[in-house]
Structure 1
């Protein structure tokens, strides 16, 4: 006799994990790049710190607003589709039942069995069945604007605090080097943790995140140096 067991699939984390990794990564890269760029222009340490704090606050608010608007648009689209599906179920139940059955047929189920499955699922919750199998909307993937916004803002601030901390403890003469090295280490850790949480390849994710972070900081450092010399 087989025993039922509870499975915790990693896809259930996709909503908050995407926002968390994006927020923390953006917080580290954008703030470190800003700090490196300003410091490369020979600015005073106090000016670099002020610029970094301003970047952290502005970035966190921008991430929150951007995520909320973006995910709200997704949520609005989902609700519009559900409303249309609800109307079709009320006015054309037989056509909707056959449509659901044909979806199962395309997946390899025999037509008679597919119709019985469609009948049973629609008897339980017709809208849920069509939302999941026709529209691809489920409890796991449904849009959550507030959660996405808060997660992005919080993780951005946490990520930004890491290079900002280096401004406080690193000597002015080696500020660019210290912030760059520390930020790349932070990015590597973030890439590994995000990959581990999502069940992805740790090495590949770590290299990808670190490479693009290094590229962004190198670019802004170069621009900061040029501007500093010009001014």
Structure 2
């Protein structure tokens, strides 16, 4: 019985050691950075698309105009985010590749396989950025899609966007290890402000006869 207990204790210690090694080998900071970037991209899609829809809704109560505006904002924003991320990450890739070449010329030994795995992927970054933006932009679009009454539609869009802002604010705070309450309030009031300013200015311009 004693030998069995000792063997079980030994196996437990071995598994614990293995788990610690695997945890150290895995870089959780990289995953956190990608997730945080995805949350920020989704938040951008949410706020910009909702603001566009609210702006058009200020002067045109037609559901078709509002939906088409939101869809155009989704496509344009996703393409813009993807292109911007692709150019930015490709520039970073060029810098890192040039640095690797300089280090090889100086005689430093480099593991090519490991270095290639650590290099940024422009296409992956562009796709992730476009996808995150599109996910956020779908929230106001889906909220407004089936509602014909103008006032109800605007109210539902604001409610759906507000809930999504709370979720994105909470996720951003958790991933960035920031105070949750303040982060949520910042994201929420920032989104409300963007929609209010767009709605107000578009209403002003639309009623001024320009």
TM-score in terms of structure 2 length:
0.78
CA drift at 1:186: 0.6
1:127-164 Cα deviation digits (max 9, x unpaired): 36xx99xxxxx93xx42212211111111111111001
CA drift at 1:42: 3.1
**What does residue range 111-130 of structure 1 map to in structure 2 within 5 Å?**
126-127=109-110
**What does residue range 22-33 of structure 1 map to in structure 2 within 5 Å?**
22-33=40-51
1:164-212 Cα deviation digits (max 9, x unpaired): 1121234312333332232121111112123334544333332222222
**What does residue range 1-231 of structure 1 map to in structure 2 within 5 Å?**
3-4=16-17, 5=20, 6-7=22-23, 9-89=27-107, 126-127=109-110, 139=118, 142-170=119-147, 171-231=149-209
| Gap runs ≥5 in structure 2 | 1-9
More deviation, 178-187/156-165:
178-187
In structure 1, what is the Cα distance between the partners aligned to 2:105 and 2:189? 50
CA drift at 1:39: 0.2
TM-score in terms of structure 1 length:
0.72
Contact 2:36 2:175 in 1 (8 A): no
Aligned pair count?
188
| Gap runs ≥5 in structure 1 | 91-125, 133-137
In structure 2, what is the Cα distance between the partners aligned to 1:57 and 1:44? 21
Contact 2:56 2:202 in 1 (8 A): yes
In structure 1, what is the Cα distance between the partners aligned to 2:182 and 2:105? 46
In structure 1, what is the Cα distance between the partners aligned to 2:68 and 2:144? 10
